[in-house]
Structure 1
Amino acid sequence: MKTADPELMRAINRFHVLDTIRRSGSISRVEIGERTQLSATTISAITASLLDDSLIVTRHEGDLRRDNANRGRPRVMLTLNASAARVVGAKITSSGIFFVVTDFEGVVLAHLSVPVRVSALPLDMLADLVEDGVRRCVLDAGLGLADVTTVALAVPGIVEHGSGRVRSSTILQGNDVPLAAFMSKRLGVATIVESDANAIAKAQHWFGQARQCDDFVLVSLEDSLGLGVMHDGQIFRGARELSLDLGHMMMGVSNAQSLRLADIASEKAILDEENADLRLREAMRVGRGMSHVRRLLEEGNDGFAAAASRAGEALGIAIANLAGLFAPPLVILVGSSLALGRDLIEPLQASFERALTEPLRAVTNIVIDEIGDEAWARGAAAVALSELYGAPWSTTGPAARIT
């Protein structure tokens, strides 16, 4: 029988110890053992190494001023060293790039928004904007690029996480773009590329609706229909660490054609219902298409109302299928399409209830979260921090990731 890779197990254990300290804020070694089920010997070895690398620091709890007869040993508590590393997270959309710089705990030190039509740009020009945004945001945080350990970019589409290649995306020209390698060379800083759905799933787990939940499903309703699955506190990825794409889910097949969820429920599918409106086209150029459609719906636009209803019904069925596969306690909906409001959400919830099997009715809940773009960038930063938490460190920093 094949045994587990010792270095992989050490990395997993390091991650769980650091993540437990992050979640707790301040915790003793005994409490870490209770929460992780790791042995005292393992915890002692890991925490000693983390202290040597200055990733964590100690704090004593207890009154040291009592007389010798009654003095007890103070509790030694462990906390993250916030200054141990700084990372940059960025979300790239069709209409803008959003940056954050965070410390080792994930606290935002600076943020920046750059409105730009990314989908119309060649890779060299996009790289210029990303580099300038990273440098500006780092400067705003009172740092230099040499102080940054990792940059993480979140993009819509299918991403091969290990290699950092974007296999397909609505915002990049062409397929199989080696974005991580390209930006690592440009910035001189290790760069990670992740799907935006996985990044926001990480943000929900660290800072949002799923802070107390290690198993959930996230559906991103934007230019593309992204899917993030969190299992046992870790992002689930497919073969070759590929991200997931809900838009590819088949909703029907005939001899004439196949129908995918994206053909019914993506932003493009909804917006294409009515494309003669000049104001709508202008709103779409700056990433405000769905907000403009919301106003048209309030004015009684029947075409968009029908499109939003069809999208909602299809999404409800798709989410019920996800519930049947994963039985998650939470399904979190995020993204700009939520601007459609009840015209999308009510048909979605109704078709979800109809399609959901009886055993799951008391298990799975849908949570709607209309978060801002900074949260997505912060999720990208959390992806970078997660990799640092599991990386083998020395006094000079984490070793390069082996893929």
Structure 2
Amino acid sequence: MKTADPELMRAINRFHVLDTIRRHGAIARVEIGERTDLSATTVSAITASLLDDGLITVRHEGDIRSQTLRGRPRVMLALNPDAAWVVGAKLAANRIVFVATNFQGDVLASLVLPVRVDRIPTPVIADLVEDGVRRCVRDAGLGLNQIKTIALSLPGIIEHGTGKVLASSVLSDLDVSLHQAIAARLGIDTIIESDANAITMAQHWFGQARDRDDFVLVAIEDTLGLGVMHGGQLFRGAHGLSLTLGDMVMGAGGDNAVRLADLASEGAILALGQPDQRMSEAVRLGQGMAQVEGLLAAGDPGLRDAAARAGAALGIAIANLVALFAPPRVILVGTTLALGQHLLEPLRVAFANAIPASLTDLAEIVIDDAGDEFWARGAAAVALGELYGSPWGTTGPARHALQ
């Protein structure tokens, strides 16, 4: 009979303890044991190690010397926010957004660089990322030598373990390794992650899914991204690949399959707009959906039909996700939500019509208009998750940078 790897089990237990402290704030050892189902001996050993490593601190509550609190002091454990600092970034077609955070994910500084990323070569993108990281770190009052990890998120299909970008709408040349280019410039451990996974982590750590270890997220932008959280961990495909929803086949059209991106991506919606100089300029500046929003308010019939078609297709796709994963919550994010009820009402109707009767009341759909900083903060959470020592992944245990 094959037994569990003791080192792996210790890593798993260490992660659970550290993550429990993060999620619940100052907490006693006995409560950690109750929430993790670990024995008192195991919790004591792990927390002693975390204290030795400087990752957590001790707080005393109910000190008898206090005039307001009486009784025996309770020993509470909390994260040490200064144990490490990371930088998270979101790479979009027309901007790069940075945040510097401490060990518990608090944003210390943020920065936005407006630049047409999708029109410049990868080495230049790496130069811009280097400049942005340096400026953001300085604004946070830190030195570059204090940054433990940089996590850069972008749309597309990313191989998590190697940082290889297999497909992306914002990179013009995939032959150049963005991962290696950034790491070489800054000399700091670098993670490349899909933006859908990054925003999924942001929702789990700071947003609409703080109370859920299992949920699905759909990012509705030019690239239709998918994030799946299972058991408090990101679900990844073979070789650690990120997931995409845009390639989901919705039907057959002549000799070619009709994919969700053909119906519901920003590009598909914008393509049906009236040829207009203002629209072209808005798309060029990355403000196409805001322009569409105004045209819809003015009653543009072509865009109204495009938004309804996109919403209906998304509703069917989400019903398929619920049937496959049975999540208690589905979170929708992304710039296409600017279409409002023109998109969402057809989505809800199509979802209700497509979902099996037995699953009608299973999943709630939550809409969240998350801003760019929140996406970048999710990238920072990906980096912090690595530092916390999460051992899961199809390619084996993650790095244990602080051990």
User: Are the counterparts in 2 of residues 168 and 174 from structure 1 also a CA contact under 8 Å?
Assistant: no
Correspondence list, 1:97-176, <5 A: 97-175=96-174
Structure 1 window deviating more from structure 2 (195-204 vs 35-44): it is 35-44
User: Are the counterparts in 2 of residues 101 and 111 from structure 1 also a CA contact under 8 Å?
Assistant: yes
SS in 1 for 2:388: helix
1:350 maps onto 2:381 in alignment: no
Structure 1 window deviating more from structure 2 (276-285 vs 56-65): it is 56-65
After superposition, the C-alpha distances for 1:316-361 in whole angstroms (9 at most, x for unaligned) are 0000000001111111000000011111111111100100111211
User: Are the counterparts in 2 of residues 168 and 176 from structure 1 also a CA contact under 8 Å?
Assistant: no
User: Are the counterparts in 2 of residues 167 and 176 from structure 1 also a CA contact under 8 Å?
Assistant: no
Q: Aligned AA for 2:118?
A: S
Q: CA deviation at 1:8?
A: 2.5
CA distance in 2 between counterparts of 1:199 and 1:159 reads: 12
User: Are the counterparts in 2 of residues 28 and 75 from structure 1 also a CA contact under 8 Å?
Assistant: yes
CA distance in 2 between counterparts of 1:378 and 1:217 reads: 19
Q: Aligned AA for 2:99?
A: V
Q: CA deviation at 1:56?
A: 0.4
Q: 1:211 — aligned with what?
A: 210
Change (3 A) 1:156 1:275: farther
Correspondence list, 1:3-402, <5 A: 3-65=3-65, 73-175=72-174, 178-253=177-252, 256-274=255-273, 276-390=275-389, 399=400
Provide the aligned C-alpha RMSD in A: 1.7
Q: CA deviation at 1:287?
A: 1.3
SS in 2 for 1:82: coil
- Give structure 2 stretches of 5+ with no counterpart: 392-398
Q: TM-score, normalised by structure 1?
A: 0.94
Q: Aligned AA for 1:103?
A: N
User: Are the counterparts in 1 of residues 389 and 401 from structure 2 also a CA contact under 8 Å?
Assistant: no
User: Are the counterparts in 1 of residues 389 and 400 from structure 2 also a CA contact under 8 Å?
Assistant: no
CA distance in 1 between counterparts of 2:366 and 2:314 reads: 14
User: Are the counterparts in 1 of residues 159 and 240 from structure 2 also a CA contact under 8 Å?
Assistant: yes
After superposition, the C-alpha distances for 1:55-87 in whole angstroms (9 at most, x for unaligned) are 001112223349xxxx96522110100000000
Change (3 A) 1:124 1:40: same
CA distance in 2 between counterparts of 1:301 and 1:193 reads: 40
Change (3 A) 1:183 1:2: farther
Q: CA deviation at 1:275?
A: 5.7
CA distance in 1 between counterparts of 2:331 and 2:156 reads: 18
Q: 2:394 — aligned with what?
A: none
Q: Aligned AA for 2:9?
A: M
Q: Aligned AA for 1:329?
A: P
CA distance in 1 between counterparts of 2:193 and 2:6 reads: 26
User: Are the counterparts in 1 of residues 388 and 400 from structure 2 also a CA contact under 8 Å?
Assistant: no
SS in 1 for 2:123: helix
User: Are the counterparts in 1 of residues 251 and 257 from structure 2 also a CA contact under 8 Å?
Assistant: yes
CA distance in 1 between counterparts of 2:176 and 2:304 reads: 37
Q: Which runs of 4+ in 1 moved over 4 A?
A: 398-401
CA distance in 2 between counterparts of 1:201 and 1:376 reads: 9
CA distance in 2 between counterparts of 1:17 and 1:191 reads: 25
SS in 2 for 1:248: coil
Q: CA deviation at 1:10?
A: 2.0
Q: 1:395 — aligned with what?
A: none
SS in 1 for 2:91: strand
CA distance in 2 between counterparts of 1:378 and 1:234 reads: 17
Q: TM-score, normalised by structure 2?
A: 0.94
Change (3 A) 1:315 1:391: closer
SS in 2 for 1:319: helix
SS in 1 for 2:132: helix
CA distance in 2 between counterparts of 1:262 and 1:206 reads: 29
CA distance in 2 between counterparts of 1:250 and 1:391 reads: 33
Q: Percent identity?
A: 65
After superposition, the C-alpha distances for 1:253-303 in whole angstroms (9 at most, x for unaligned) are 355111110011111111111262111111111211001001011111111
- Give structure 1 stretches of 5+ with no counterpart: 393-397
